[in-house]
């Protein structure tokens, strides 16, 4: 707000704005020239007074806390306000947000706070009660900074996250646990690796240096993860059987069935991993 207390431009209130992701988005909006108010856990101001001047209220708290915070905030909002959240799951948070009078859109930034800018990053948008023109200016800010936007429903988002986050992180943790069970030290493993292996191993080191609660919530709170893990178990069993059989045809059948399925992805995957290899070589 201006010094006269007169409102100019858009005001975004970020609840959880003192955390890493909240601070990242506060900086994105400030760079776009928007007013940003942040609220951390230890605020003296009443929630009502914090929310009142906000055009957009963004909830950026840990997954497990999201619905509880939404339930506190949602009843205090007006129809002219836009409510959104940034959590990794969308069905539960969006269902809680739409109880509000405010227009609602769910958001999920597909990156952690370590990125420097939005350039090349993906943000998933799950519109609920907000008409497109209400959230378009915010999406323009993200896209203007180079973000790729994917629009879908909360349910489809969660189904895709069961793969993108659930399966990926599950298998990363399984690989870490397998090496630990083999009593092999990562320092030694690394001396045998070229960059291509360090792309995969890097995901283990990266994931395990982050918050256990975040990854636990992603895996345990998304109901779509269960069926994915059931298929994963079958895949592990089927590949194990093929390997243990010693039968080259059996292995080839497994391999070629998947090669056919992923043939469209081959050229892009090779190009991108070649690029990563060059980056790791040039360090």
Ligand X SMILES: O=C(O)C(=O)C[C@]1(C(=O)O)C=C[C@@H](O)C=C1
| Residue closest to 104 by CA, chosen among 157, 43, 162, 57 | 57
Q: Which of 65, 111, 179, 193 binds ligand X (CB under 6 A)?
A: 111
Judged by beta carbon, residue 19 or residue 112, the one nearer ligand X is 112
Judged by beta carbon, residue 60 or residue 77, the one nearer ligand X is 60
Judged by beta carbon, residue 110 or residue 277, the one nearer ligand X is 110
Q: Which of 66, 81, 88, 222 binds ligand X (CB under 6 A)?
A: 88
- Fill in the per-residue mask, 201 to 230: x = in contact with ligand X (CB under 6 A), - = not in contact: -----x------------------------
β-bridge pairing 122-127 and 103-109: antiparallel
| Residue with the two structure tokens 């970020």 | 14
Judged by beta carbon, residue 108 or residue 134, the one nearer ligand X is 108
110 binds ligand X (CB under 6 A): yes
114 binds ligand X (CB under 6 A): yes
| Residue closest to 227 by CA, chosen among 127, 138, 136, 158 | 158
Of the listed pieces 29-37, 43-51, 76-84, 111-119, which binds ligand X according to CB under 6 A? 111-119
State the Cα–Cα distance between residues 210 and 258, nearest whole angstrom. 32
Of the listed pieces 70-78, 106-114, 173-181, 222-230, which binds ligand X according to CB under 6 A? 106-114
What is the nearest approach in angstroms of ligand X to the Cβ of residue 89? 9
Determine if residue 183 is left, alpha or beta; phi over 0 gives left, psi from -120 to 50 gives alpha, anything else beta.
left
Of the listed pieces 6-14, 65-73, 104-112, 191-199, which binds ligand X according to CB under 6 A? 104-112
State the Cα–Cα distance between residues 60 and 18, nearest whole angstrom. 9
Judged by beta carbon, residue 114 or residue 246, the one nearer ligand X is 114
In the region spanning residues 227 to 256, those forming contacts with ligand X, defined by CB under 6 A, are none
Judged by beta carbon, residue 23 or residue 43, the one nearer ligand X is 23
CA distances from 41 to 11, 18, 75, 211 (A): 20, 8, 19, 18
CA distances from 188 to 148, 177, 184, 204 (A): 39, 16, 8, 15
Residues that bind ligand X (CB under 6 A): 88, 110-112, 114, 165, 206
């Amino acid at each position: 707000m201006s010094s006269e207390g007169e409102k100019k431009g858009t005001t975004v209130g970020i609840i959880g704005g003192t955390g890493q992701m909240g601070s990242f988005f506060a900086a994105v909006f400030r760079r776009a020239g928007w007013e940003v108010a942040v609220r951390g856990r230890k605020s003296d101001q009443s929630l009502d007074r914090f929310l009142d001047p906000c055009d957009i209220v963004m909830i950026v708290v840990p997954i497990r806390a999201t619905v509880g915070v939404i339930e506190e905030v949602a009843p205090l909002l007006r129809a002219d306000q836009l409510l959104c959240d940034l959590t990794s799951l969308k069905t539960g948070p969006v269902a809680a947000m739409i109880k509000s009078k405010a227009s609602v859109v769910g958001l999920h930034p597909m990156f952690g706070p370590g990125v420097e800018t939005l350039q090349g990053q993906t943000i998933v948008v799950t519109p609920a009660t907000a008409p497109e023109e209400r959230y378009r200016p915010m999406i323009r800010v993200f896209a203007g900074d180079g973000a790729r936007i994917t629009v879908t429903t909360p349910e489809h988002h969660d189904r895709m996250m069961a793969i993108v986050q659930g399966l990926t992180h599950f298998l990363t943790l399984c690989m870490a646990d397998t090496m630990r069970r083999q009593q092999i030290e990562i320092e030694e493993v690394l001396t045998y690796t070229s960059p291509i292996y360090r792309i995969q191993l890097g995901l283990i080191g990266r994931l395990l240096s982050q918050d256990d609660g975040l990854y636990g919530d992603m895996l345990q709170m998304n109901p779509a993860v269960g069926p994915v893990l059931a298929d994963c178990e079958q895949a592990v069993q089927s590949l194990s059987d093929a390997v243990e059989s010693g039968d080259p045809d059996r292995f080839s059948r497994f391999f070629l069935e998947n090669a056919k399925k992923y043939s469209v992805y081959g050229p892009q995957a090779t190009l991108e991993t070649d690029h990563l290899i060059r980056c790791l070589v040039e360090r």
